[in-house]
Amino acid sequence: MESFEEEALDTCPLSCLPRVWKRYVDDTFIIVPISETDKLLKHMNSLEPTIQFTSEIECEGKIAFLDTLVHRHDNHRLSTSVYRKPTHTDQYIAFDSHHPISVKRGLVKCLFDRASRIVTSPQQPCKERTRVRSALSLNGYPRRCIHNTKNRSSEPRDQKVYKTFTVLPYIDGVSQQLKRRLESHGIRTVFRSDTTLRQQLTRPKDPIPPHRRDGIVYNIPCKGCDRSYIGETARPIKERITEHKRDVRLRRTDNSAVAEHAWDNQHQPDWDGVQCLS
């Protein structure tokens, strides 16, 4: 990759050729002569057949790279602004949602920091900050919270040293008090939520049916009395129950406690009542 770019620079100086920007799927921002774009893409795709790159070419002197929109002006100067996808709706964490206040303040700080660091045109930062305030207001953030968090983000903060840290579930009204107590003893507290959309909606794999599960403890009750047999198997439970049924049918009382109890007491195991305990 490096040798190819050096050869292109030596034979085709950038100062005398038209240029085009391309963005690759692995988030690489490359500036190459426009005549070399296809050659570069073909070369990269020839290195490893199982890895094929795609590219995005600048449009009207603009190209998006991560959260940044890069502008190329007629005088060849570059400027950047915040990039939002066409489907962006300014929907963020609602202020009344069940999240720690630190998460909500972090969102405000992130949006204002992005506005000040990414935007380079003198006229654009004020416009971007106005849009951020409007979006936060639509998500229920009070004006005072926005103002205080924004001003606090520009102030230097003392880095507190902790002895250790702990991760706890977030409970509104309780977690804040617990955090203050723990931090007074040098324990940094981080909260997590157990009820996320990912946990509620995402099911990567279908659950394994009980009769196909292995490595479990199971219970076989008796129909004739209140006794039951509890066993453990590393194989699917369906296979182990089939073996128990065979032992009872063939009267293998020497090797099977289930068969021994069934024949000694003339009781029938309750095969329909078999339960998986773990």
Q: Please report the pLDDT score of residue 133 as a whole number.
A: 92
Q: Please report the pLDDT score of residue 233 as a whole number.
A: 86
Q: Please report the pLDDT score of residue 5 as a whole number.
A: 37
Describe the crossing of helices 124-138 and 101-118 by its angle, rounded to 10 degrees.
160
Rounded Cα–Cα distance for residues 72 and 120 (Å): 12
Q: Please report the pLDDT score of residue 172 as a whole number.
A: 81
Alpha helix positions (H), the chain: 2-11, 37-47, 101-118, 124-138, 143-153, 175-184, 197-201, 237-249, 257-265
Using CA atoms in the order 203, 26, 114, 90, what is the torsion angle rounded to 10 degrees?
Answer: -40
Q: Please report the pLDDT score of residue 244 as a whole number.
A: 92
Rounded Cα–Cα distance for residues 158 and 194 (Å): 31
From first to last of its 278 residues, what are the pLDDT tens digits of the chain?
Answer: 333 333 333 334 444 444 554 444 567 888 888 888 889 889 988 988 888 888 888 888 899 988 899 998 888 888 899 999 989 999 998 998 888 888 899 999 999 998 888 998 877 888 899 999 999 999 999 988 888 887 775 555 556 788 887 888 888 888 888 888 888 888 888 887 766 677 777 766 776 676 666 678 889 999 989 889 988 888 888 888 899 999 999 999 888 899 999 999 999 999 988 888 87
Q: Please report the pLDDT score of residue 136 as a whole number.
A: 93
Q: Please report the pLDDT score of residue 8 as a whole number.
A: 37
pTM to 2 decimal places? 0.54
**What 3-state class would DSSP assign to 63?**
strand
Burial of 226 (0-12, 13-18, 19+ CB in 10 A): exposed
Nearest to 52 by CA among 63, 41, 65: 41
Kindly list the distances between the CA atom of residue 53 and the CA atoms of 3, 67, 184, 220, in Å, as whole numbers in the listed order: 19, 21, 52, 58
Rounded Cα–Cα distance for residues 99 and 161 (Å): 25
Q: Does residue 264 contact residue 253 with C-beta atoms inside 8 Å?
A: yes
Rg (CA), the chain: 33
Rounded Cα–Cα distance for residues 204 and 94 (Å): 27
Rounded Cα–Cα distance for residues 69 and 75 (Å): 18
Rounded Cα–Cα distance for residues 22 and 59 (Å): 10
Q: Please report the pLDDT score of residue 101 as a whole number.
A: 86
**What 3-state class would DSSP assign to 55?**
strand
